[in-house]
Chain A
């Protein structure tokens, strides 16, 4: 479908006779207010999610080698202080990714009973609840069945 209506620049008959002022958008637009800063951090969390997914590929790859190779990896990487600090930082960003995702999804998921809409707060609580349940189940499963 082509645009059938002229832009102001093309519309020579109706074009402004005086010069309009166009304000440039600053490169730091995401610092303009608190909400945009939070948005910027929210989007940054995607780097950490991607990065950790790649790390998981590496961990999984290590299990295809010998057990002693894996032991070396475990000792030198996973049990290092640097790894703990990195994991904690990544965890913080990934948890922020989770909370912003739940809040975002709750705001746009509309469930109606008749004319009334189920409260978004309730949907958010259900999301968080499910997250807690799944995490606890996995945690318990790992601890119990290890």
Chain B
């Protein structure tokens, strides 16, 4: 055990089966495709530490109790977006879900809803990655200029227009939370639309019309019924619901204006 986990060094409670050691139980979704037809839940009881998050508990399980458990994680500080899972039915970054909020009750950990499960807590996120590409999440300048002509200039006010939408870490909690995505997997989804808006509203970008082919389709913004769960669960306060409603407004106005103004307006 040694120095693998800094928390253990600080922990003054003995690590053996002592009456004084508080414990907590995690009920974890297990699915091993080679042997299981159906998933099942496996209960793990482990030492409770007040400053631990669910990810710490999962790491403890994997390292000391059951090495067969599979899950994704990376930065453990809420910036990489890898460790999203359902904690007691709520989509959460497990590196940001503190055990003390649930203690002493057991914690149910499941893979993110609305995604196919590859194994245990690992989901297939190909659909989301495809949609990011479709939506063209990169800058496409109106008129590309060579490096020799200098930088694209942008004022703080112009930055403020899209900055919030640039905070997305692609954690997909919003897709897990969105009932519309659950009902219609072809829905482009909150994060992809928010990221499309991040580029659409960037003063350096000129590809609104290209993105509109995807965003303003029936599988884009118009599938959304402004439930708002996406914004509620977003750990980076991106507010994708607002991005979608803004897109509805601007696309609807463009649509009606296209009858009044000459073609090729945008």
Contact = CB atoms under 8 A, between A and B. Distances in A.
Interface stretch (B15-23, B92-100, B127-135, B256-264): B127-135
A29 B124 contact: no
Contacts of A25: 114, 179, 182-183
A20 B182 contact: no
A107 B242 contact: yes
A110 B246 CA distance: 9
B116 interface: yes
Interface residues of A, number: 32
Interface in A89-144: 104, 107-108, 110, 112, 114-117
B113 interface: yes
B198 interface: no
Contacts of A23: 113, 117
A115 B116 contact: no
Contact of B232 (A4, A30, A35): A35
B160 A8 contact: no
B214 interface: yes
B141 interface: no
The dominant DSSP class at the A interface is loop
B59 interface: no
Interface stretch (B49-57, B77-85, B223-231): B223-231
B179 A1 contact: no
Interface residues of B, number: 41
Contacts of A73: none
Contacts of A43: 225
A107 B89 contact: no
Contacts of B161: 112
Given A22-B116, A25-B182, A33-B89, A1 B246 contact: no
A137 B214 CA distance: 45
Interface string A1-29: 10111011001000010111111010001
B214 A1 contact: yes
A75 B59 CA distance: 73
Contacts of B156: 114-115
Contacts of A11: 126
B33 A18 contact: yes
B21 to A, nearest CB: 33
A3 B179 contact: no
Interface string B42-53: 000000000000
Interface of A: 1, 3-5, 7-8, 11, 16, 18-23, 25, 29-30, 32-33, 35-36, 39, 43, 104, 107-108, 110, 112, 114-117
19 contacts: A5-B130, A7-B126, A8-B116, A8-B126, A16-B118, A18-B118, A20-B118, A21-B31, A21-B33, A21-B117, A25-B183, A33-B89, A33-B90, A36-B227, A104-B226, A107-B241, A112-B160, A114-B157, A117-B160
